[in-house]
Homo-oligomer: A and B are copies of this chain.
């Protein structure tokens, strides 16, 4: 498959071994519309014969190597999503519904000039997380 060959090349590029578990984990993340928890990825890959711990380690390794990103969205569970390939490889904002737990990836959320100054007094903002009630939940 096309995707698989591509993933293999990317992993090899980093000097890492292109194992089936690793490539499948990466492909799975890329197939999802939203960040996936370790439990979700495992649930999908265990039936294929991949071990839960191996998945766990690969998820974290992929993050360490820049191929994926890990975020804590407020429910004490890590969620993983593939890094943006092209333009913005940086973290993007997320919206989490406190009612149904749905996570939405957002582009270009900006703070007002005043807020930006305020935040600069404290530090350099690298990540924005919004929480609230999604339109479906109200």
Could you say which of B75, B106, B126, B128 contacts A128, with CB atoms under 8 Å apart?
B128
Chain A interface size, under 10 / 10 to 19 / 20 to 34 / 35 or more: 35 or more
Using a CB–CB distance below 8 Å, which chain A residues touch chain B? 72, 74-76, 95, 97-98, 104, 106-112, 114-115, 118-119, 121-135, 137-138
Q: Is the CB of B138 within 8 A of A124?
A: yes
Number of copies: 2
Name, among A104, A114, A130, A132, the residue most crowded by chain B CB atoms within 10 Å (CB to CB).
A130
Cβ distance A81 to chain B, nearest Cβ, rounded Å: 16
Sorted from nearest, which 7 A-B pairs have the closest CB atoms? A123-B134, A127-B131, A126-B132, A129-B129, A125-B132, A110-B112, A109-B115
Enumerate chain B residues within 8 angstroms of A110, measured Cβ to Cβ. 111-112, 114-115
Enumerate chain B residues within 8 angstroms of A111, measured Cβ to Cβ. 109-112, 115
Enumerate chain B residues within 8 angstroms of A109, measured Cβ to Cβ. 111, 115, 118-119
Enumerate chain B residues within 8 angstroms of A128, measured Cβ to Cβ. 128-131
CA distance in complex: A81, B12 (Å): 47
